[in-house]
């Protein structure tokens, strides 16, 4: 006997049939959407944790990095650079003037006497003097070929 081949059947579901099988919200999402949702949740959690840490850290007073001296008095710098700088400051001061009467003359009175303003400059101060001294030193070093190599080496 001959049996006919089975005919393909098409099933048509109505909307009432799909309402009976409810899938969860997460179940209706693709794998990629679920992975993205997990990634966004992790980022939001990290941001919330960082905000909390920053709020706690900014609310606490920070300790000073400078330790107080053992005797309660501030420590003095006695390095060669500190001593030379203090000596230059004392040379520039005019201690015969009362600082309450004329503070500028007290602090800078002797500097302006010892350092006469060059005629080619409109203003002259400590920075101008330092700049001029550096230029003179560099010019002196550049006169020799060895000096140029040393300057370039130090700049690198």
pLDDT digits (tens, 9 = 90+) for 34-85: 899 999 999 999 999 999 998 888 876 665 555 555 566 677 888 898 899 8
Q: Confidence class of residue 156 from pLDDT cuts 50, 70 and 90?
A: low
Per-residue pLDDT, 108: 84
Mean pLDDT confidence for 85-89? 88
- Rounded Cα distance between 65 and 68, Å, is 9
Say whether pLDDT at 26 is over 90: no
Residue with structure tokens 């993205």? 36
- Mean pLDDT (the chain) is 78
Query: What pLDDT score does 51 carry?
Result: 93
* C-alpha to C-alpha distance for 116 and 48, rounded to whole angstroms: 63
Residues making up the chain, counted from first to last: 156
The per-residue pLDDT for 5 is: 66
Q: Is the dihedral of CA 19, 24, 26, 32 positive or negative?
A: negative
């Amino acid at each position: 006997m001959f049996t006919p081949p089975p005919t393909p059947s098409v099933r048509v579901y109505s909307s009432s049939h799909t309402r009976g099988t409810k899938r969860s919200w997460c179940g209706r999402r693709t794998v990629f959407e679920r992975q993205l949702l997990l990634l966004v949740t992790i980022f939001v959690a990290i941001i919330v944790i960082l905000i909390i840490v920053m709020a706690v850290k900014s609310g606490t007073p920070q300790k000073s990095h400078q330790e107080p001296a053992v005797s309660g008095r501030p420590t003095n710098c006695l390095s060669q650079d500190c001593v030379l700088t203090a000596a230059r400051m004392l040379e520039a001061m005019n201690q015969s003037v009362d600082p309450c009467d004329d503070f500028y003359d007290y602090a800078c009175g002797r500097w302006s006497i010892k350092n006469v303003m060059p005629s080619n400059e409109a203003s002259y101060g400590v920075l101008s003097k330092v700049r001029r001294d550096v230029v003179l030193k560099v010019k002196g070093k550049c006169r020799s070929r060895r000096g140029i190599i040393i300057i370039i080496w130090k700049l690198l």
